[in-house]
A and B are shown apart, each in its own frame.
Chain A
């Protein structure tokens, strides 16, 4: 019988939640790696039992955990992360230059075809790859060595490479996004990169239309249309139909176009989901109401989805990697909050239920659709 497995990273460990296709009753295991920050957990599309988790603390640094049995057991990998060659410098918040310094892995993106190949996005921003199931890691340094890198600056959460999207129709094409540098595209599997930020406009940087310097929060793609990307920027929801060569704003009637996550319906590529947050300095839902907004027209026209979500006194945030969609016939949408709730919808957002309500702050949510 088909079902789903939801992978949740939190401020104090990881959780694995499974359900059948009805998505009403959930089995929950965890916390795994109790006490550690788990920025991301993701499964291999090529082998659903192969999971990777990013485990970190300020005390003891970065580890990658691997599971070969769908999260029942885990093994800490021995491989470490080191920049390839001279670290170089980037801008600090105060405008001075400082060396790149590895801090943590924000995002893991397993290969679409090989369970042993997985990409990792780092803070300070760098792009790593493992081809041996996470046992060893090597930087693909061209991104960090891009000519614009000395002018990259961190967002409030750090200078993180938080989004990695592999083009399912072109194995050499990769999209990444860095806060607050912007989006980049490679056409040669990471050997070289070009910024793809034309059309983005950001206040708070010297040139609002600059080639780099934009605080991109998240990018999402429907695999059926890899040239169409949707972006939640620091402010503004954006869309490109030419793989990032040009972007246009589709914020439309959202109550706030600030937010973190964005995702695309698995079967309806013009249906997208965001969670508006009041502002960059407040980071709470407008009016104390937790509302997912859905557009069925690829942006501009949005409807609030509230059934089952708190509509008063709610002041949680939803972080950039904390939303996911499954690919069951009736599409599931999932998101986690900084208040420890994980919400699930089995009807594309029309109604919501909390799988759990009292986890540590949720950093990431992924879902696997199981045969």
Chain B
């Protein structure tokens, strides 16, 4: 079970509170986690990744285990602590004004 923490705006859109727990088939990667997340919550399609290119949106970041994973390839394995559910995969709205 993968634990995912969404930013508040996306929790509101998905009508969830707290963390999201996802069954992710196969290897746990940013791409597989986001695929599972968007399958569970279709309204989130396009809010984290561009719906056409699947590129991470510029003001969205991925953190886990005190590391910035934003620039890792989408198919790179997530840390074991994330894959085993010990630590969450954090989806963050970049700190910027507005």
A residues with CB within 8 A of B: 35-36, 57-63, 76-78, 80, 82
Within 8 Å by CB of B94, from A36, A59, A62, A76, lies A59
Given contacts A36-B9, A80-B51, A82-B52, whether A61 and B42 have CB atoms under 8 Å apart is: no
B22 at interface by CB-CB < 8 Å: no
Determine how close the nearest CB of chain A comes to the CB of B98; give it in whole angstroms. 7
B residues less than 8 Å from A77 (CB atoms): 43
Q: Judging by beta carbons under 8 Å apart, are A60 and B93 in contact?
A: yes
In the complex, whether B10 has a CB less than 8 A from a CB of chain A is yes
A-B contact pairs, 25 of them (CB 8 A): A35-B9, A57-B9, A58-B59, A59-B7, A59-B9, A59-B60, A59-B93, A59-B94, A59-B96, A60-B10, A60-B47, A60-B48, A60-B60, A60-B93, A62-B46, A63-B13, A63-B43, A63-B46, A76-B13, A76-B43, A77-B43, A78-B43, A80-B51, A80-B52, A82-B51
Q: In the complex, which residue of chain B has the Cβ closest to the Cβ of A62?
A: B46
Knowing A36-B9, A76-B13, the reply to whether A61 touches B43 (Cβ < 8 A) is: no
Contact A61 B9 (CB under 8 A): no
CB <8 Å contact, B46 and A61: yes
User: Is B27 interfacial (CB-CB < 8 Å)?
Assistant: no
Q: Please report the total number of B residues contacting A with Cβ < 8 Å.
A: 21
Interface presence of B40 (CB below 8 A): no
Q: Which residue of B lies closest to A83 (CB)?
A: B52
- Cβ-based interface call for B57 (8 A): yes
Report how far A78 CA is from B47 CA in the complex, Å.
Answer: 11
Q: How far is the CA of A291 from the CA of B96 in the complex (A)?
A: 36
Contact in complex: B43, A60 (CB < 8 Å): no
Contact indicator B45/A80 (Cβ below 8 Å)? yes
A61 contacts B98, C-beta separation under 8 Å: no
Q: Known contacts being A76-B43, A80-B45, is A58 close to B98, with CB within 8 Å?
A: yes
**Which A-chain residue is minimally distant from B58 (CB atoms)?**
A58
- B57: A residues at CB distance < 8 A: 59-61
Which residues in A have their C-beta under 8 angstroms from that of B96? 58-59
Are A78 and B9 in contact (CB-based, < 8 A)? no
In the assembly, what is the distance between CA of A59 and CA of B13, in Å? 14
Chain A neighbourhood of B51, CB < 8 A: 80, 82
User: Given the complex of chains A and B, what is the CA–CA distance between A36 and B13 in angstroms?
Assistant: 11
**Residue of A whose beta carbon sits closest to that of B41:** A78
Give bound CA distance, A63 to B47, whole Å.
8
What 9 pairs across the A-B complex have the smallest Cβ distances? A60-B47, A80-B51, A59-B59, A59-B93, A78-B42, A80-B46, A76-B43, A82-B52, A61-B46
A61 pairs with B52, CB closer than 8 A: no
**Nearest residue in B to A78 (C-beta to C-beta)?**
B42
Q: Which residues of A contact B45 (CB under 8 A)?
A: 78, 80
* CA gap between A78 and B46 in the complex, in Å: 9
Residue of A nearest to B53 (CB): A82
